[in-house]
Chains A and B, each alone.
Chain A
Amino acid sequence: MTARFGPGDRVRVRWAHPPGHIRTPYYVRGKTGVIERICGSFRDPEELAYARDGQPERPLYRVHFDRRTLWPDDQGRAKDGVEVEIFEPWLEPADAAMEGGT
């Protein structure tokens, strides 16, 4: 499957709370980060969790977040970061995304 995003792209994690087994942590939902690398394509954990085959495989990315975008009230150092693996259906281009949801 062709990856929609590439390293350096700014992406926003969907602000969504569907039921079921989700591997997108709450603390990054609705937040904007930068693609660090494409990890490859892997079976969809949201399907695998219910004994389905996980197809089609989904591109998986490592996304870098500046801590201040995750926790604006944080007293942490400006440069500190968090990198999280996120499947493509959870990502949208940051520039097209609506703000809010924090």
Chain B
Amino acid sequence: MSDTGQHSHDHTPRPDQDGPPSYYQAMETAVRELLIEKGVVTAEEVRAAVEAMDARSPAQGARVVARAWSDPKFKARLLKDGSAACAELGIDMGPTHLVVVANGDKLHNVIVCTLCSCYPRFLIGLPPDWYKARAYRSRVVREPRAVLGEFGTEIPDDWEVRVHDSTADMRYMVLPRRPEGTEGWSEEQLAGLVTRDCMIGVTLPKSP
């Protein structure tokens, strides 16, 4: 966009998106209202559940990564049983069986759900739209290095890129490698380098 000092572009209003509900939106409303009407759940319980899910954020996952970078014994427990290790930090993984896959010497991991959009929501919140898109889901398994490249992530030729497809009951998080130059950093400082995308595996952590 050039800045000519003039304000010549038009401001066509974006149309409202308030058409009739879709089939599944109507079904959700109907089922929810029935459940409330029959006393199975209360409106307050529905609201609280939505609020709890909205409150989950990548900050939780960043805390887990920072702890694993700081404490090798915690890292070992995290790789053995991800859900149990997160519980140590007060993070309730609900019914999720978390598998943490660690990037290592010449190994880079990336996660996907080719069949739908399984994602470690209990740990890092709601997935980005691109994660649910058909393009990402089909391409990252077929041409992972090209997709990583589009995120600005170049993995050396002699490294393995390993794609994890969550097709069933496991959910995945990538444990990135601790960036160099962070010796002596606190867990809080380290957590600031951990992004949502590096826990999906499409990028690396921020540099210090």
Contact = CB atoms under 8 A, between A and B. Distances in A.
Interface string A37-51: 001101001000000
Interface residues of A, number: 22
Q: Categorize the interface residue count of chain B.
A: 20 to 34
B168 A60 contact: yes
Interface of B: 97, 99, 114-115, 141-145, 157-170
Of B99, B157, B165, which is in contact with the most chain A CB atoms at under 10 Å from its CB?
A: B165
A46 B167 CA distance: 12
B97 A82 contact: no
Nearest to A41: B169
Nearest to B169: A42
Interface of A: 23-25, 27, 39-40, 42, 45, 60, 62, 71, 76-77, 79-87
Contacts of B142: 27, 71
A62 B164 CA distance: 9
B168 A87 contact: yes
Contact of A60 (B145, B157, B158, B169): B169
Contact of A85 (B143, B162, B167): B167
Contact of B114 (A25, A42, A71, A77): A25
Contacts, number: 68
Main secondary structure of the interface of A (DSSP, over half): strand
28 contacts: A23-B115, A23-B168, A25-B114, A25-B115, A25-B167, A27-B114, A27-B142, A39-B97, A39-B169, A42-B168, A60-B170, A62-B170, A76-B143, A77-B160, A79-B159, A79-B160, A80-B160, A80-B163, A81-B160, A82-B141, A82-B165, A83-B162, A83-B163, A84-B165, A85-B169, A85-B170, A86-B168, A87-B168
Contact of B157 (A27, A45, A77): A77
A23 B142 CA distance: 18
A79 B99 CA distance: 22
Contacts of B169: 39-40, 42, 60, 85
Contacts of B166: 85
A80 B162 contact: yes
Of A60, A77, A83, A86, which is in contact with the most chain B CB atoms at under 10 Å from its CB?
A: A83
A81 B157 CA distance: 13
Contacts of B114: 25, 27
A39 B162 CA distance: 18
